[in-house]
Structure 1
Amino acid sequence: MRVGILATAAFLSVAATSEMTTGQFLAAMDKAESLGPAALMSSDVRDLRAESDRVLTLYRADIARQAKTGGPRHSCPPPKGEGKMKGEELKIYLTGLPAAKKKQPFRTALYDFMKQKYPCK
């Protein structure tokens, strides 16, 4: 019994660190929406938020690094806290992607979205 619990915990920790595809992210968004107010207590929502935070942290670090080196920038978002991205806006973008792009990492889709939303001029 104890071995089964440890194996399950190990599997869950590996799954939590693997990168979500765009399709998996969309499915998690849909599931969260279907839960209504109960979504706030859902582990699925915590996982969704953790993945969003992880990818946005990577994105911000990449943008900061590009700005620091003075080279070409991927995109030009407003400073942190000044621009607000609505979840519905992102969902519309992700839903409109072709099936092949939904198999790519969520990170790739978010970077593409940010490039479209905040192009450098």
Structure 2
Amino acid sequence: MMLGKIVFLLVLAFAITCQHQQVAGAGNCTKEQKEKIMKECWGYISKRHPGVPETWSICCQKVKKVRNSDMDCIVDLLDDRKKRLYGKRIQDLKLFCAPPRPYNNQVNNINCLNATFQLQLMCKS
């Protein structure tokens, strides 16, 4: 009986001291990741300095470290005031930090330019 109480108290003490990284939702983000994104992306999410981060920026590096770049998870960790002020901009970071994908016409234009260049080289020979 006494051993059970000791084990219970040890487990309780362990649980209390190991709460430094709370995982939210489906476990896609941590409070630490939220803090890093708020710090590194502040220039992009604040209304005073709006803008779009470069995909290679430190901000985007932090966004990509969150599993699936789940910015909804980050927003869920904010208090209500910060959700209202910054939630949409934080959610947009997933799109801003995604690598650009070429459109079909861009690929076709590149192929066309390459073919034109090759024809010019052949004609000069």
TM-score (norm 1): 0.30
Instruction: Indicate the structure (1 or 2) with the bigger Cα radius of gyration.
Output: 2
Q: Which has the higher helix share?
A: 1
Higher relative contact order (CA 8 A, sep 6+): 1
TM-score (norm 2): 0.30
